[in-house]
Every structure is written in C-alpha cells, then in structure tokens.
Amino acid sequence: MIGTIVNTCTILTGSVIGSIFKKGIKEEQQNALYTAMGLAAAGLGINAIVQNMPNSRYPVLFIVSLALGSLIGTTINIDRQFQKLTEKLSVGQLSKGLSTGILLFCIGTLSILGPIQSALYGDHTYLFTNATLDLVTSMVLASTYGIGMVLSAGVLFCWQGLIYAAALMLGNFMTGDMMTELSIVGGFLIASSGLSILNIKDCKTMNMLPSLAIPVLFCWVMGLFS
C-alpha cells in the first residue's frame, strides 16, 4: 500500500499548495499546466498501448472491448450519473472540480494497474509516477476550485485500496494475458483522458469504463477452456 499512500499524500499536498497560491497562478499558467498534463496523459496512454500490443494474443479484443464497453457505459450514462452525484455532495463549482479531479486521479492505466502491480509484484513504479502527475494536477485544480479538492484524495485512497485488496485476494486469477489486454484497453482510456484535457475531443472517458471489464471476462472464459 506504500504506493497508494504516497499517491494520496501528493494529492493532499498539491491541493493545499494550490489553494494557498490560488490568486498567484494566472489563467494562462493554469492552461499551460493543463496542456502539459494532457500531453503527459496522452503519452502515457500511447506508451502503454505500444508496449503491450505486441504481446497480445487477441489483437482484436481491444476494439471489441472499447466498442462494447462504450456502448454499455453510454447507455447507462455513467458520466452523467457521476455528475449528479458530485453535484449532490458538493456546492457550486467544486462539483466540477471534484468530478474532474477524481476522473483524472482514478481513471487511467497508472491508477488502475498500479495497485495491481504493487500487490502482485511489489512494484510501485506506476503509482509513484502517478503520484508525480497527481501532485501537479491537484495544484492546478485547487488553484481554481479551492481546498475542497482534498476530498478527492480520500476517493483515490479508497479506489486504489479496493483494487489492491482485490489483487491480493485474486492473485492467481490475474493471468499474464489478462494483464496485457487490460493494459492495452487502459492505455486507450488514459490517452482519451489526455485528449479531453487538451480540449481536442471530449471522449467522456467515464462512459468507457466498462471496457476494462471485458478483457478480464474474456481472458477468464478462455482460461476455462485451456
């Protein structure tokens, strides 16, 4: 859990620093930081895709996962349901900040695969990298939406903690093929988050979340017949 604890602390630290210097960070500086984070997210997503796709045993699975997962998520409208929840739990612009922050902090290859790598292999690299990105992102968000952004740190801790615990309990369930296919789909999701941050395309990444479950289920079923 050391990686998750570090990640949580960086969000708390960034939120405090950002709220303190709220008036000192100009809009153009915020935009510059957002651009940097958008490019970083896109780059990390592409890197995960490029690294794992050559090892895929099911080259078409990621296409099916993204298409079917997006269809399911859009039908349920996860993005809108989440917006309604944050609007109920927060006041004014903070709801927008929290929804943006939680999406950026929790949804992506690093935040999802990081706890799994930490639990199964004791490798905290993904989480430490994610912590660095979240430090900058939380500073920018807090400079806009205030100290209330610290609430997103609690959500991240619970999110990654659940994934970590699940990975420990289901260690034998997570096969190499499953991790590879999950990394590819996760790479596309974090890349789509980068595009959204850069205002190139609002991909509504949250509606694509069901895509992550499909390669897991597929590899599990294939394992039953192998």
Model confidence over 137-157: pLDDT tens digits? 888 888 877 888 898 899 999
Percentage above 90 pLDDT, the chain = 24
Strand, coil or helix: 13: helix
Cβ(139)–Cβ(152) below 8 Å: no
Q: Give 129's contacts (C-beta < 8 A, 6+ positions apart).
A: 44, 110
> From its phi and psi, is residue 108 left (phi > 0), alpha (psi between -120 and 50) or beta?
left
pTM: 0.76
What residues in the chain have per-residue pLDDT under 70?
23-25, 85-93, 95-96, 107-109, 171-172, 226
